[in-house]
Structure formats: C-alpha cells, structure tokens
Amino acid sequence: MTRKYFGTDGIRGRVGVAPITPDFALRLGFAAGRALAHGHAEANGDARPAVLIGKDTRISGYMLESALEAGLAASGCDVLLVGPMPTPGVAYLTRGLRLSAGIMISASHNPFDDNGIKFFSGDGSKLDDAVELSIEAELENPLLSLSSIALGKARRLDDANGRYIEFCKSTFPTTLNLRGLKLVLDCAHGAAYSIGPNVFRELGAEVIAIGNQPNGLNINEKCGATHPETMRAAVMEHSADMGLALDGDADRLMMCDADGTLFDGDQLLYAIVKDRHESGTLRGGVVGTLMTNFALEKRFAEMNVPFQRANVGDRYVLEMLREKNWDCGGENSGHLLCLDKHSTGDGIISALQVLAALCRTGKRLAEFTADLTLFPQVLVNIRLDRKFDFSADADISIAVAAAEKELDGQGRVLLRASGTEPLIRVMVEGRDSAQVSKLAQRIAATVTRAGAG
C-alpha cells in the first residue's frame, strides 16, 4: 500500500503547511495511540500503553509536542516527555523503559522552519511498514476522546539526559579513555547541545563546544554535520586534535583531523569496520547505500569483507543489516549504524567507535584511513515536481547510458528522487574529477529540460 503521510524518515514538511500543523499532530497522536493500543493489548493485556516524546530545539517543537501529547492522552496512552534529546536517545529510552513506542519531533538536518515526526517501536527501531500503515488508517477515523477514566496521563522524565549519557559512555571500551585529547564538538544548535559535550568530557577529553546555544531558530544554521567547515575552522583556531560535527538531531556525524582534513560517512564507516576487521570482532559484512563511494566497495573486496548496497535511507540500511545478521553499515551523509552498540544510528556513539580505534592504534584518522582513497563524486540536486517520472523519460535514459559508456566501468551514475524534498538527485563518480563533473552537469541539464517540458 502507498503511504499518504509517512516518508522514508517519518512525516516531514514545512511548519504551518499540512501535514506539519497542530491539528494534524493532534490527530496523529490520537491515531498512533489507537494503533499502538491494539498491538499493546495483544502483548500486555489491559496494561495502559506508554509513549515517550522527545524533540530537537526548533521553536515549532513546543507546538507539536503539546498537540501529540493531547492526542495520545485522548487515546488512552500515558506520555513521558524528555524535552530536547537526540533521536537515538529517544530510541534508547523507549527500549530501556520498556515503552510501547517513542516519538521524535525533528527535521534532522533541515532548516528550523521545517519539522517532522518520526516513530520508534518498543525495541528502539523504526516502525515496521505495517504499523505505519495502521496509523494512517486510523487517521481516517474521527478524533473522539475516550471517557475520563480511560484517558492517559503525562509526566516529565527528569533524569533522561543522565541515563542517555551513561548509555553512550558504555559503548566506549572501559580500558580506554580520552584524556589528553582536545576535541571541538559542533552540536548544530540542536538536540545534543547539552548531552554531547558531557559525554566526551566525562570520558576525559577537553571539549570545546560550538553550536551549543540554541534559540529555536538557529538549528543547523551554517553549523553541524551539513556545514563541517565551521567545525574545521574551530579546530584550526583552537589547535584541537580533532573535530566532531553532529546534525540537528545528532544521528549524523562528520569529523576532521588536526590539520582540518574532513572525513565523511564513508570514511568513518571504513575506520570503524577496519578496526573491527583487524581485531577479529567484525560480524559478517557491511551495508552501504546506492550513494556509497565506489572506492569503499573496492577496498572491502580487497579485505574480503562482504559488502551490499541498500536503498538510500538509514531505515533501509538497518533492514538489510537485520536480514543478514550483520552489525555495521551507513551512509556517506554520516548516518552510521553499529547494531552491537545501539538499535539505530547515533552520531555520538559512532564518534566513540572511531575514537576507540584511534586510541587503540595511536594513529591519526588520516593515517588510519590512508589505504582508502575515495573516488571523486559529484551530486547535483534539481528541484522538480514530485510527480515527474525521470525513469520513464527517453532523453534522460540516453544521457545516462552515454555517461556510463564514457566511464567505461571505472565509475557509476545514479539518479534518484529525494525521500524528503521535491528533488531529483544526479550522482556521478569516477576516477577523474573533471570528467565526473562534466558528465553530472550534462545529465542534470537533460533532467532539467525534461522536467520543464
């Protein structure tokens, strides 16, 4: 069945424009409560279902949080509120407190005037398709409050931050510490603004926190994982050993060395996998996406590490990891998964895995990953109507085929529609940067003409 509201990462859009409105959030809370109650009753008898709500620092989070809380309470669900909390923190607390579900209010790396609502199941994973569809089905029913005796209650979980900080620290080896390391941590004025610095300080690092003064409007603004140049500048300014940059909801990670060299998700995934491969602790293979750099695939083949590509989106990486019973996967955007550490992608925990590898080897990140040289990769985004089917256009197919012929097996061409924005993404990669750029622009021009026609 086709989803009406849920995309690849929950429900997302511009605040004040359907579906990111207070009335929809109210109805969504009620619908989710009713859908979750059915499954909860089957597993727990008459016990009342309970749902945790977290959010990032967007000003619209107050509005959506209140509306969701009201809808859930009207449906008979108890609600736990934790305030600003990284998305993976919501997943952890939902699982740790044995709750029915968790809800995160965030638009991740998007600007402040977007927002979104994503759900976690009781085990801290993204909701199954069947549950999302059941929530959408419930949205078609009228919102009718239960009687007073059946209504849910709401309370704040006061020690949420401390619980999550301790969980993050538990994923770092007890035999290691970060003493003597000066880190710049860019929190993107987002959900990790308070939690993130404390995790690394409590493990011994000297932390220079930036992007840690949220005002509701500055989340992701020229900072964080989507603008790593800010982190890099701070590393150089403070003569730090390393920089870490999270995004607004702290599930993405970018890093840089002392000299300002940047490392994306593919390189960080390689560092984590290489460390486990060398120590004999890697379980199975690695899952990337259609956007994963071709050089990473080739390097894993040289290491005899199995590698598979999933569709773009961390939920699809997660699905394939579970299907294959593997632990490690991720995207070049900085979503990284280590399923032996957490049920979902976590920027803080991913950084700790990289730092553990460097502490064990005594190497800088550039030195540790020197045997991986990424292919030049050019990504061009074209804003087009979501209804445009680029895969059915003959001119686009001809342009792609011509580019693939010119690459002669030493690169890739990928066209895909964004799951969160009205964009067609054109990606070309190969050994020669000038050739890659030329081919990407040529295909993008063809897509633009076809879409305009």
Interstrand relation of 101-105 and 114-121 (parallel, antiparallel or unpaired): antiparallel
- Where helices occur in 362-393 by DSSP H, the ranges are 365-368
The residue to which tokens 């579906």 are assigned:
19
pLDDT value, residue 91: 97
pLDDT the model gives residue 46: 58
pTM of the model: 0.91
Q: What does the pLDDT read at residue 69? A: 98
pLDDT at 453: 67
Residue 377's DSSP bridge partners are: 429
pLDDT at 1: 55
Model pLDDT for residues 15-46, shown as the tens digit of each residue = 999 999 999 999 999 999 999 876 655 555 55
The confidence score (pLDDT) of residue 385 equals: 76
Report all structural domains of the chain as residue ranges with CATH numbers, in order of start. Answer: 11-157 (3.40.120.10), 163-252 (3.40.120.10), 263-368 (3.40.120.10), 377-452 (3.30.310.50)
**Which residues of the chain are modeled with pLDDT < 70?**
1, 38-46, 386, 419-420, 453
> What amino acid positions are annotated as catalytic residues?
108
Contacts of 336 (CB under 8 A, 6+ apart): 253, 265, 268, 269, 272, 329, 330, 345, 346, 347, 350, 353
Residue 395: Cβ within 10 Å count: 12
CA distance 187 to 200: 12
DSSP-derived secondary structure letter, 107: -
In angstroms, rounded to a whole number, what is the distance separating the alpha carbons of residues 51 and 36? Answer: 9
Question: Do 108 and 248 meet the contact criterion of CB atoms below 8 Å apart?
Answer: yes
Pairing of strands 154-156, 182-186: unpaired
Distance CA 100, CA 364 (A): 43
